[in-house]
Amino acid sequence: MSVFDLRDFDQHEQVSFFNDPETGLKAIIAVHNTHLGPALGGCRMWAYENEEQAITDVLRLSRGMTYKAAITGLPLGGGKSVIIGDARRDKTPELMRAMGRAVNALRGRYIVAEDVGMSVDDMVQISKETRHVLGLPSENGSGGGDPSPVTAFGVYTGLKAAVKHRLNRDDIAGLRVAVQGLGNVGYNLCKLLAADGVVLTVTDVHQDRVKTAIAELGATAVPPENIYDAEVDVFAPCALGGAINDGTIARIKADVISGAANNQLAEARHGDVLREKNVLYAPDYVINAGGLIAVHYEYRARSAGETYDRDAVMAHVARIAETVESVFQRAAQEAVSTAVAADRIAEQRFGRAPAASQAA
């Protein structure tokens, strides 16, 4: 099947494939939409089972970045990249530099930053081959460093707004939250929640992360396949996409779904299913926009020759709560799911007719 015929193609402007036999790089860069500005989005390194899975992931992630930038009010387009490989085993400085050359080949249409399986050190290697890279160390004044803690703060802010809206609670002490995935964002979210007295149930495919959460945060751990059955108030998907699907929706007991993962809904219709079940879903690209906001400020600081303003970043990220509430209000006014409401707001901003919405 042609890439153009894939369900998730969704009018992408450009999809590029890169192969570097010398370093082993196999990468895909997807540029979804540049109506508002250059496409900015992280690079994910993952051991995909096959190339079709990688293509689907990069297309869905890229589209999500367009919507994320638009609903957050940033002058950016949407793009994403994936490297096929095990980040713990296959990553080398040479491979990262090859990725930098791939990014550079797009001549600024796509700007790369960190995502799952990538780090600030990786961005440094990529920066040796291209200037179209963000998430760099902060030592020189213009770099924002790892955006993961900022993303986590945005999710934390959005989660509290969702809890306020659905459960009418300002104080979240004693709230029960299940966190699926303890990567850089998920673990930082857990730290913020634990500091507020939240009761954590956690899981991850990497047991070292789980042990750390138990020791440092007093979390209770469950096997990955059991996280959906946890008796909690909030379910926070912070791993890969597709966690909300026909099988899991029937098992989730939470009143609120609010997490950091991209593309949490396996299919657009699952937003409607959640609405019918009276489960409040905080759309993923709305509440996980903190990292994008951070790298946008880094991009702006570098372009103007200014110092990265972390205080301004955090103030901007704190406003995610207002955006989340506006999505909830629009969903109620128009009698649609929160996923559809968020898409409609974003589409109005980047210039697509609402009828073309394919929420994911």
Each residue of 111-165: pLDDT tens digit?
999 999 999 999 999 999 999 999 998 766 667 888 999 999 999 999 999 999 9
In DSSP notation, 75-111 reads S-EEEEEEEES-TTTT--HHHHHHHHHHHHTTTTSEE
Please tell me whether residues 229 and 343 are part of one structural domain. Answer: yes
Please tell me whether residues 105 and 204 are part of one structural domain. Answer: no
Please tell me whether residues 162 and 82 are part of one structural domain. Answer: no
Residue 114's beta-bridge partner residues? Answer: 43
Please tell me whether residues 161 and 222 are part of one structural domain. Answer: yes
Taking residues 66-94, what's their average pLDDT? 97
Residues in Cβ contact with 245 at an 8 Å cutoff, skipping those fewer than 6 apart: 265, 266, 267, 270
Please tell me whether residues 267 and 334 are part of one structural domain. Answer: yes
How much is the CA Rg of the chain, to the nearest whole Å?
19
Instruction: For residue 265, name the pLDDT band (cuts at 50, 70, 90).
Output: very high
Please tell me whether residues 126 and 153 are part of one structural domain. Answer: no
CATH number reported for the structural domain that contains residue 87 in this entry: 3.40.50.10860
Please tell me whether residues 107 and 171 are part of one structural domain. Answer: no
Please tell me whether residues 273 and 341 are part of one structural domain. Answer: yes
**Among residues 294, 280, 272, which one has the least CA distance to residue 146?**
294
Please tell me whether residues 182 and 243 are part of one structural domain. Answer: yes
Please tell me whether residues 129 and 32 are part of one structural domain. Answer: yes
Within a domain: 207: yes
Within a domain: 338: yes
pLDDT at 240 over 90: no
Residue 80 annotated in active site: yes
Please tell me whether residues 89 and 124 are part of one structural domain. Answer: yes
The two tokens of residue 38 are 């250059």
Q: Domain total for the chain?
A: 2
Within a domain: 302: no
Within a domain: 310: no
Within a domain: 306: no
Catalytic residue among 80, 91, 164, 191: 80
pLDDT at 26 over 80: yes
Range of the domain at 51: 3-65+77-133
